[in-house]
């Protein structure tokens, strides 16, 4: 059975920029061996960071190969609640990353990310993280 994986924006950026060959190899393995899910918010973040129309077209074409996922009726509420819980513990985490974490739980996905604050989310929410082999 293939694992369900969400690759966070931070890992995609590193992958596209080819700054870390170990991470690139790990991602290549995941891309061929796992079910890759792409939340719409990650697609939006990647497009937002594009430097040209050509990059936007490349992102669109590249992501068409994955399962595009959206939210359930209460996903944003759960993301806000997660952010609130973290804030009460003295941890400030981007609402977008709380949202990605909730979507990952809803879709039974692990998250590959370079963002260290996902470790704080993991402690509270029980999400599954994939540690990049290069870190």
Q: Provide the b/e sequence for 56-71 (b: ≥16 CB within 10 Å).
A: eeebeeebeebeebeb
- Using the predicted structure, report yes or no on whether residue 82 has a pLDDT greater than 50: yes
Q: Which residue, chain included where needed, has tokens 């966070």?
A: 8
Lowest mean pLDDT among 59-63, 76-80, 110-114: 59-63
pTM over 0.85: yes
- Using the predicted structure, report yes or no on whether residue 133 has a pLDDT greater than 80: no
When pLDDT is cut at 50, 70 and 90, the band that residue 135 belongs to is very low
* Spatial distance between the Cα atoms of 92 and 133, rounded to a whole number of angstroms: 26
- Helix axes of 118-125 and 95-106: crossing angle, nearest 10 degrees: 50
- Considering the domain 4-130 in this protein, what is its CATH number? 3.40.50.1010
Segments making up each domain of the chain, as ranges: 4-130
Tokens of 16: 């596209």
């Amino acid at each position: 059975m293939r694992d369900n994986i969400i690759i966070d924006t931070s890992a995609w950026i590193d992958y596209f920029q080819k700054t870390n060959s170990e991470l690139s190899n790990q991602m290549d393995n995941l891309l061929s061996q796992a079910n890759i899910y792409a939340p719409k918010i990650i697609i939006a973040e990647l497009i937002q960071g594009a430097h040209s129309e050509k990059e936007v077209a490349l992102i669109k074409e590249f992501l068409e190969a994955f399962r595009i996922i959206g939210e359930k009726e209460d996903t944003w509420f759960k993301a806000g609640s997660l952010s609130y819980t973290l804030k009460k513990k003295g941890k400030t985490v981007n609402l977008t990353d709380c949202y990605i974490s909730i979507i990952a739980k809803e879709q039974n996905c692990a998250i590959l990310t370079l963002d260290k604050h996902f470790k704080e989310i993991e402690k509270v929410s029980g999400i599954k993280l994939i540690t990049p082999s290069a870190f």
